[in-house]
Amino acid sequence: VQLQASGGGLVQAGGSLRLSCAASGRIYSSKIVAWFRQAPGKEREFVSAIRWGSGIRYYDDSVRGRFIISKASAENTVYLQMNNLKPDDAAVYYCAAGIHYSTTHRDYDTWGQGTQVTVSS
């Protein structure tokens, strides 16, 4: 499977963006699709993940209550709705697929290209 991330942009603090991660090829029910982000000079960090089969969702505490991850099975797409964005959310956002749920980016074997999110204060 290949992943294509899109939807980034410039938004004011308090605004919203929706990121998309489109997969070409079948995503098996056992797969996890996750979002990570990386700001300049920082490690890539976990944001959210969803189990493709069951739809169980996971969030980092820093985004819980503001971000919503969802999937559209018919479209082979995972979305990340980001609300009440803060300057600290600014980063390049990546989607990734793996076999097991993990908050460690090294545990994911398939990555999309990043999409830039910029939040102005």
Amino acid 7: pLDDT: 98
Amino acid 99: pLDDT: 92
CA–CA gap between residue 28 and residue 75 (Å, rounded): 14
Amino acid 78: pLDDT: 96
Per-residue pLDDT 10s for the chain (121 aa) are: 899 999 999 999 999 999 999 999 777 767 999 999 999 999 999 999 999 999 999 999 999 999 999 999 888 999 999 999 999 999 999 999 999 999 999 999 999 999 999 999 9
Amino acid 111: pLDDT: 96
DSSP letter string, 64-109: TTTEEEEEEGGGTEEEEEE-S--GGG-EEEEEEEESS--S-GGG--
Amino acid 118: pLDDT: 98
Amino acid 113: pLDDT: 94
For 26, the enclosing helix (H) or strand (E) is none
